Amino acid sequence: MLLAGAYSVVTPAFETPDEIWHFAYIHHLHTERALPVSAPQTTALWRQQGVQAPGYYLAVALLTAWVDASDFPTIYDRANPHAAIGRPGTADNRNYLVHHFPEESFPWRGVFLALHLARFLSVLLAAVTLWAVYGLLAPLVGERLALLATAGLAFTPQFLFVSAAASNDNAINAAAALVLWQLTRLLTGPAQRWRSWRAWGLLGVFLGAALLAKLSGLALVGVVGAAALWMAWRVRSFRLLVRAALACGLPALVLAGWWYVRNWRLYGDPLAWNIWQQNILLRVIPADWRTILAELESLERSYWGLFGWFNVPYPEWVYWAFRGVEVMVALGLLAALLRGVCPEKKDRTRMPRIRRIFTDQKGRMDFHRADAAPICTILPFAVIYAFFHSPRRTESAWGSALKNRIERGRHGSG
C-alpha cells in the first residue's frame, strides 16, 4: 500500500491511460446526479467510458461528494495537442495534459483533491486484491509460497502503477479475486460446506460486485456455474444445484441485474456493446503473424511496466531481465508439473502441499481422479481472465490507433 500510495502521489494528474475519461464519468455523476446515457460517436467528456458498469464510479462519487470539482472542464481542456500517445521512448511531449504544477501540489484542492481521493480508493481495492490472492493460494500451495506469489504481484511495477490510478480496473481486480477466493474455499472444503446458504450467498455478493464493476466480470458467471454443476454432480444432488443457483444468483441479480436491464432498455443490448464499438477504433485489416508477435511483445512489456500514456518505458535491458524471470518461472512450473505427474515412489511424504490437499479423505477433492477436473480448470480461468480484463495495452502496434482515438475525442468526433 505504501508503494502504491507513493505512485498515486507522484504520478501527475490524469497521466495514466484513460484516467481523465474515467474521472469525467465521476464528474457527470456529481453534476447531473444521474448515470451517463451514451450514444454512437458521443462527444461527451467521458467518451467510450460512458457505458462502463457504474460500481467504481458510484463509490468514488460518494467518496468525493463533498469536494468542489467544478474546475474539471477547465483542466480537461488542457490536453496537449502534441502528446506522444502510445509512442514509447519519445523524448518530448510525454504528458497528456499541459500541467500547472503549483495548483496540483499538496494541499490538493478542487478536482485534484477529488482525483487523489479516487486514487486512494484504488489503492485500497488493490490491497483487497492482494489479500484475496493470498487467501486463494494459501490452501493450495501453502502459506509461504502464497506469500511469495502475492509479493510477486504486489511488487510488479505495472500493478502498482494501475493500482494508483482512478480506474475501474481496480474494482474488477478486487471483485474477481474475491470471487475466486470464495470459490476456492468451497471447492477445497468439505462437502458439507457445499450445502451452506451463507457460503453461496457470500459468493453471490462478490459475483454481483464483479458484474457491477466491469463487463468482463461476466466471465466469472461461467466459472461459478461450472463449479456448481460439478459439486452437484459430485454428490449426486440436484437440490444442491438449485440451492447454489438461488443463494448465489439472487444476490448477484439484486446487486447488478438492474444495470443490464437499463442497458437493454436504453440501447437494445444488455451489455451496451453496440454503443461501445461505435465509440472506439476497431481493427479493419486482419492481423498477420508479424502484427500478432509485435502485440504479444507489447503486452509483455506493458505487463511488467509501461508508464504514462504508454510512452514512458523502461530501458531495454530491464525488459530482458524481466524476460529472464519469465523463463525461470516457466522452468519452475514445468519441473513442478513433472514432479506431480511422476512422483518419487519411495518418498510419498515429500509430496508438494498442492497435491496433499487434493488427496484428503474427508470429503475433499482428489487431483488424481478425473472428477477433480473443475478445480484444475479454475486456475487457468483465473489466469486467462486476468490477462484479458487487465488494462494492459500495446504500445507499438496500438500506438497510432490510440493517438487517433485521442485526437477524435479532442475534436468532438467520438
| Reduced 3-state DSSP string for 32-87 | HCCCCCCCCCCCCCCHHHHHCCCHHHHHHHHHCCCCCCCCHHHHHCCECCCCCCCC
Confidence of residue 374 (pLDDT cuts 50, 70, 90): very low
Q: Quick one: which of 302, 308, 306, 402 has its CA closest to 13?
A: 308
Dump pLDDT digits (tens) for 158-168: 999 999 999 99
Least confident piece of the model among 20-29, 161-170, 264-273, 369-378: 369-378
Q: How far are the Cα atoms of 7, 42, 272 from residue 48, in angstroms, in the given order?
A: 26, 8, 11
Q: How far are the Cα atoms of 64, 251, 277, 361 from residue 52, in angstroms, in the given order?
A: 19, 21, 12, 46
Rounded distance, CA 390 to CA 303, Å?
A: 9
Report the percentage of the chain scoring pLDDT > 90: 46
Residue 95 DSSP SS3 = coil
Q: Quick one: which of 240, 151, 202, 226 has its CA closest to 380?
A: 226
**Looking at residue 115, what is its pLDDT?**
96
List the grid coordinates of 372: 477433480
Dump pLDDT digits (tens) for 63-79: 999 999 999 999 988 88
Rounded distance, CA 8 to CA 182, Å?
A: 29
**Looking at residue 342, what is its pLDDT?**
55
**Looking at residue 81, what is its pLDDT?**
78
Contact between 414 and 41 under an 8 Å Cβ cutoff? The reply is: yes
Dump pLDDT digits (tens) for 93-127: 777 788 877 888 889 999 999 999 999 999 999 99
Dump pLDDT digits (tens) for 20-45: 999 999 999 999 999 999 998 888 89
Q: Is the pLDDT of residue 377 over 50?
A: no
Q: Is the pLDDT of residue 215 over 70?
A: yes
Q: Is the pLDDT of residue 245 over 90?
A: yes
